Amino acid sequence: MATLFIAQHNLEAMLERLRRKAEVHGPVRGEDGVVRFAELIHGILPDLSAIRTLLPPKKYLLHPRETILKYTSEAGYQLPSESVPPLILFGLHPCDLAGINYLDRIFLGEDPDPLYAARRSALTLIGVSCTPDEFCSCHLYPSPLKALSDLFLNSVKGGFAISSGSPRGEELLEVLKDIVEERDINVPEDTRRFFGHAVSAQVRPELDATLPEWQELADACLGCGACSLCCPTCSCFDVLEFGGLDGRSAVRVRQWDNCLFKCHAEVAGGMSFRKNRAERFRYRYRHKYRGFGPLQGIPACVGCGRCRVVCPAGLDLRPLAARLEEITP
């Protein structure tokens, strides 16, 4: 079957054409060996052999710390005015695309978050196929999440099969038409759970709080929060308000928070919903593997493996997940 194909040696030419439309960011390996999403300026090619970046693309949509509301006695409450230039994210793996799909469900639901919505609509997503390593779990557990992208590059011999997933993707194909050709090639089917599986969300039973694993995990965990910082779907935030010294102005700020931090579940009066780390672990597990709230039944873990790579205590929730799927399916 004729498929659109772009040769590997045309990757730089492709990026040049994309740069005419918007700033392009992709996975770049730094001198420290760390792979990060960063600008792909002229002469810099994305590291498409890297399995994962340290931080996921959520940093473009939810800034680690940002002002969400301003107040002055003259103007009252005002949303911050932010100009959001178009941005192309290149080289997103299926897990990161599914992670964005998850964030979309949270922040573009019934009452869309204005900052997220503005950044999301400015974002063009170009996915690329990848080969999972021992930390990945992108194939485990059914999920209604989809790896949606504007363009997707499937790695084949000598280059990539390229397909569009949106009108924006069609426009980009038009821009690339002089370096894209039709070829008869066999594109391997991606069998990961984010492709073509019609799975609906299922409400799951509450987890057994008496399982010894919660305490075992809690005892080993250092409470550093790295697993949550680097997770493409962790999006809990704290909201803080700072009054100006003039007594007439204030800002409301939101910043990334972390469910494994003790303060995350603390409320006024010194109360806490989850006083000990074992409870916090059960909470995190429920969120990542079973979903909760409006996203009940949709596992938030997209299997990128980042939490396992970064955990200084070497914790891995996959064996527990395998056991819990059997005992409380």
Using the minimum distance from each CB to ligand SF4, give the nearer residue, 25 or 58: 58
Pick the closer one to ligand SF4 by CB: 44 or 310: 310
The token duo for 285 is 């597990």
Do the beta carbons of residue 80 and residue 70 sit within 8 Å?
Answer: yes
Helix, strand, or coil here: 125? strand
DSSP state of 9: G
What does each C-alpha distance from 23 to 84, 86, 298 come to in angstroms? 12, 7, 33
**Residue 303 binds to ligand SF4 (criterion: CB under 6 A):** yes
Should residue 301 be labelled a site residue for ligand SF4 when binding is judged by CB under 6 A? yes
CB of 277 to ligand SF4, least distance (A): 8
Q: Does 312 bind ligand SF4 (CB under 6 A)?
A: yes
CA–CA separation, 154 and 22 (whole Å): 23
Residues 59-98 close enough to bind ligand SF4 by CB under 6 A: none
Site for ligand SF4 contains 11 (CB under 6 A): no
Shortest CB 58 distance to ligand SF4, Å? 10
Q: Which is nearer to ligand SF4, 159 or 303 (CB)?
A: 303
Identity of the residue numbered 58: K
48 near ligand SF4, judged by CB under 6 A: no
Q: Is 313 in the site for ligand SF4 (CB under 6 A)?
A: yes
Question: From residue 222 to residue 261, what is the string marking binding to ligand SF4 with x (rule CB under 6 A)?
Answer: xxxxxx--xxxx--------------------------x-
Residue 212 CA to residue 71 CA, distance in Å, equals: 49
Shorter beta-carbon distance to ligand SF4: residue 38 or 315: 315
Out of 48, 88, 306, 324, which residue is the one contacting ligand SF4 (CB under 6 A)?
Answer: 306
Q: Which is nearer to ligand SF4, 102 or 160 (CB)?
A: 102
Phi first, then psi, for residue 87 (nearest 5°) are -140, 135
- Helix 11-19 crosses helix 167-175 at what angle (to 10 degrees)? 110
Show the site string, 183-222: x = touches ligand SF4 by CB under 6 A, - = not: --------------------------------------xx
The phi and psi torsions of 232 (rounded to 5 degrees) equal -70, -15
User: For the chain, what percentages of helix, strand and coil (3-state, to nearest 5) are there?
Assistant: 30, 25, 45
First to last CA, the chain: 41
As measured in angstroms, the least distance from the Cβ of 305 to ligand SF4 is 5
Interface mask toward ligand SF4 for 108-137; x: CB under 6 A: ------------------------------
Beta bridge partners of 37: 27
- The DSSP code sequence of 250-311 is EEEEEEE--TTSGGGGEEGGGEES--SHHHHHHHHHIIIII--GGGTT--------HHHHH-
HSE toward the beta carbon, residue 112, CA cutoff 13 A: 11
| Residues in contact with ligand SF4, shown as a per-residue x/- string from 279 to 298 under the rule CB under 6 A | ---------x----------
Binding ligand SF4 (rule: CB under 6 A), the pick from 192, 305, 320, 321 is 305
Interface with ligand SF4 by CB under 6 A: which residues?
221-227, 230-233, 260, 288, 301-307, 310-313, 315
